[in-house]
Structure 1
Amino acid sequence: MNDLSAGEVGVAILERTSDLGRGVAIVTGARRGIGRAICLELAGAGFDIAVADVMSDEGGPETVRLVRERGRGALFYQLDIAKTGDYAEFLSQVEAQLGPVNCLINNAGIQVSERGDLLDVSEESFDRLLDVNLRGTFFLTQAVARRMVARSDASQERSIVFITSANAHLVSPEKGPYCISKAGLSMASQQFALSLAEYGICVYEIRPGLIRTDMTADVIERYNAGIENGTLSAIRRWGQPEDIARGIATLVTGGIPFSTGDVYNIGGGMQLPRL
């Protein structure tokens, strides 16, 4: 699961510029795009990072390298969040190699393979999408939360972030299963927020709007005009991964106190009703 040697684990720890950090954050879907931006922003805020992703290519080690450049420990873990049986080994490795987990960023997710008519959605594509976006994220959160709750000596702030989508409430029939998965995840965020508040674990939902990443590469031309004329986004530009990352860092470092279960739209005003 972890493709770095024991010697490299030692290097990851020793490369910290300071031990006065905020603990360990797990970021799923972390090898590129929004996930990488989150890793770098949280490293700058003092977290060591467990960089988790289903793909094991050059992206994961590159994210690790960039985190270490910011003076924090980091390791890459290959993890398919749809495979719930892998969680125990994964979390045990993270705890042994980096330390107890204080923060979970649920960023991993997949889009529909082909946009099309809702009446043509197959059971296979529907099940795969919900297995990752909803079921996998729910049970990984459950596994992490159980370990957080079991630690009675926790002295640092603890938090869980669900990254959903503007499609948690904006209807797009051409990608119906994706919208359904994100709407379900929005409710899961509120359920965990209520359940974990008594343990001092804050839970937040981030709803990105149109963010320029590899996942949106195929719709850039489709949405450019609406962004430029303000019909899709009140702020007339594409969102960037760093926009999401900065919002998350603000939340998990206590920048908005007395908040849990809240939904934060980071989409340039895309959520605003209009006539």
Structure 2
Amino acid sequence: MTLRDRVALVTGADRGIGRAIAVALAGAGAHVAVGYRSRAADAEAVAAELRSRGRRAVAIQADLAVEADVSRLVREAAAALGEVEVLVSNAGIGEAADLDGLDVALFDRTLAVNLRAPFLATQAVLPAMRRRRFGRLLYVSSTAAQVGGIIGPHYAASKAALVGLAHAYASRLAPEGITANVIAPALVETEMIGSNPRARPDRIPVGRFGRPEEVAELAVALVSNAYVTGQTVQVNGGVYFT
């Protein structure tokens, strides 16, 4: 399936994995809405790069912890580029906390961005996808969902829940031409990993951190495929085997 002239929305696309996915989708022919929270200059630079490649692109600010912002993000993306056909829920927070330092406020804040926002964004894009009988839902989870990870229970729980969310959508929407899949990266070269002293390449069997572009390649493959749905694909250098 070609992605040419499809409209994609990528959350957290101002940097890291989200940026790489936005660039890869544009390279595959999609028009892309670049979602971001606070780094306007970075997001505008990504959108400018995509436009330089001949694609339509727009940067849209939204705080995904705020319900109204999530629905506004989808509306503004549709107004600028057309109805969203590919949703990549990539944005996430990962404030490290040990068991003694983890409180309800951090737990709730993490789930609001990492789980509730993807749910809200999905619900917002689904009416148009169902009308068209075409849609691609892709959730960026983490190997922490399987192994616990280095950030904390709150983060692992939020990322594990994305798998259940994708399964539920995949099972219900497959007859309507809509797929839902998950990518689960581990220790990819991003700011989140760079700020965590426990993130070391010697923890990874292949001996190095992953690159955002390696995750993006898989993202494009998944949203280009009409027959793969309900799957969680690991991109982890051998940290966890399925």
Indicate the TM-score class for this superposition, using the shorter chain for normalisation: over 0.9
Q: What's the counterpart of residue 232 of structure 2?
A: 263
C-alpha offsets along residues 63-96 of structure 1, whole Å, 9 cap, x if unaligned?
A: 0011112110000000112222234433222222
The answer to whether the aligner puts 1:233 opposite 2:204 as a matched pair is: yes
Aligned to 2:108: 127
Cα distance, 1:56–1:222 mapped onto 2, change above 3 Å:
closer
Superposed displacement of residue 174, structure 1: 5.4
CA distance in 2, matches of 1:87, 1:60: 17
1:23, CA displacement in angstroms? 1.3
Task: Kindly indicate whether residue 24 of structure 2 is the aligned counterpart of residue 41 of structure 1.
Answer: yes
> Number of residue pairs matched?
240
Instruction: Evaluate the alpha carbon distance shift between residue 126 and residue 71 of structure 1 in structure 2; reply closer, same or farther with a 3 A threshold.
Output: same
Larger Rg computed on CA atoms: 1
Q: Which residue of 1 aligns with 2:214?
A: 243
CA-atom RMSD in angstroms: 1.9
Which of 120, 143, 155 is the equivalent residue of 1:166?
143
Per-residue CA deviations over 1:183-240 (Å, capped at 9, x if unaligned) read 111111111111211210011100001101111012367513x2xxxxx323222100
1:203 aligns with 2:184: no
What is the deviation of 1:32?
Answer: 0.7
Distance in 1, Cα, partners of 2:18 & 2:150: 26
Q: 1:237-273 CA deviation, whole Å, 9 max, x = no partner?
A: 210000010000111122xx52100110011121128
Aligned to 1:193: 170
Q: Report how far residue 143 of structure 1 moved.
A: 1.4
Q: Which residue of structure 1 aligns with residue 63 of structure 2?
A: 80
TM-score of the pair, normalised by structure 1: 0.82
**Percentage identity across paired residues of the two chains:** 35
Superposed, 1:22-61 pairs within 5 Å as 22-61=5-44
User: Structure 2 stretches of 5 or more lacking a match?
Assistant: none
Q: Contact 2:31–2:55 (CA<8 Å) still a contact in 1?
A: yes
The separation in 2 between residues aligned to 1:102 and 1:52, in whole angstroms, is: 15
Hey, what's the Cα distance between the residues in 1 that align with 2:24 and 2:72? 27
Cα distance in 1 between the residues matched to 2:123 and 2:115: 12
8 A contact 2:150–2:198 mirrored in 1? no
| Aligned equivalent of 1:64, options 37, 41, 47 | 47
Counterpart of 1:115, as a letter, is A
Task: Show structure 1 runs of 5+ residues with no match.
Answer: 1-19, 227-231
Counterparts of 2:235 and 2:199 in 1: how far apart (Å)?
Answer: 20
Whether 2:190 is the aligned partner of 1:213: answer yes
The one-letter amino acid of 1:23's match is R
